[in-house]
Amino acid sequence: MSEAATPVSDAEARDLLESMVAIPSPTGEERAAAEHLRDFLRDHGREAWLDDVGNVRAPGDDAVLLTSHIDTVPGDVPVGIEHPEAGDTDEPAPWGGGDEVPRDAAVLRGRGSVDATGPLCAMAVAAVRTGVSFVGVVGEETDSRGARHLVDDRDAPDAVVNGEPSGWDALTLGYRGFLAGTYRAETEAGHTSRPEPNAIQHAMSWWNRVEAAFDSPDDAVFESVTAKPVDVTGGVADDGLSVATTVDVQFRIPPGSSAEEIRTMAEAELDTGTVAWRDAIPPVLDSPRSEVGRAFRVGIRERGGSPRLLKKTGTADVNLFAGAWDCPMATYGPGDSALDHAPDERLALPEYDRAIAVLETVCDDLQ
């Protein structure tokens, strides 16, 4: 424990998690949860405040910055702690395996318990115990405004650990990037018996060509571009003189590809209409041999685990940090990412305890 570190009991750590999960914090409504987290940090001797966009800032030893997001997706998942018994489920035991249920085994259910209030609280506790820098950011589930503000508002730390569920014994090194745009087309209105395609048909044809252009094997998702339409509107205008359509589209960018390449390929399939593109987020793939990767392997092994290295097909705030800061980084946190956004989102509390212990080892090592 560093000189600036402050004790936090295991019971206090669990209380923080349960209380944070009980506070609704969908994107745009994070303030109550942010203030509660700020007060926890202050109560344990840390300088902490909410910045201009609502991030919780607690500067400390910049040997490592621990950061995760406060916001969750919407969804009312009743909050409660359950004490399972061995044999209740066919799933692997959430306390780490074996048929015997530990005395303190418990599972916390609730929105955000996995994505990402569990990782967030684990990092806050580890930051207090070790004295390293901590930031809880807002808006990750939509526009990442908290992370964008952070990289504009401070210098790079020596290392970054971003909080997302990986499982206590795993480390995420790669995420695909993200590109979004809106296709628009308009044609003159006409009788539906006419053979000429209208704007809706042009949009459908364009998207079919785009999907074919980015077709890839099902077993190579991380290395491939994924193209998805996410919203479609269209029809005859109110004045009856035209047919218009818009299609909101998203692309996931694998390491080795760029947003510019994807834009060029998608626009090459246009014969009618235009695409308005929005800011892109680059992909990231960190080395398992970095100081951060090594520290996590040590920490996981010290707790009896066999370290696993993951690549995720989505996108996270770490992509923005990697694009702005030249320092080693990785993503880590308790929880099964298959339960992200799920109606039965839940986190085994012994896993949460282990993740905090691993983070402490990592922070002490990097300090």
Catalytic residue set: 71, 140
CA dist 315 and 230 (Å) reads 16
CA dist 127 and 121 (Å) reads 10
Q: Are 252 and 313 in contact (CB under 8 A)?
A: yes
CA dist 111 and 75 (Å) reads 7
Q: Are 196 and 334 in contact (CB under 8 A)?
A: no
- Token pair of 29 as six digits: 């409504």
CA dist 166 and 144 (Å) reads 20
CA dist 355 and 300 (Å) reads 9
- Token pair of 147 as six digits: 């992370």
Q: Which has the closest alpha carbon to 242: 200, 203, 187?
A: 187
CA dist 259 and 321 (Å) reads 17
Four-residue CA torsion sign, 310, 119, 254, 233 = positive
Strands 170-175 and 308-312: parallel
Q: Environment class of residue 328 by beta-carbon count within 10 Å: exposed (0-12), middle (13-18) or buried (19+)?
A: buried
Residues 6+ apart with CB under 8 A from 218: none
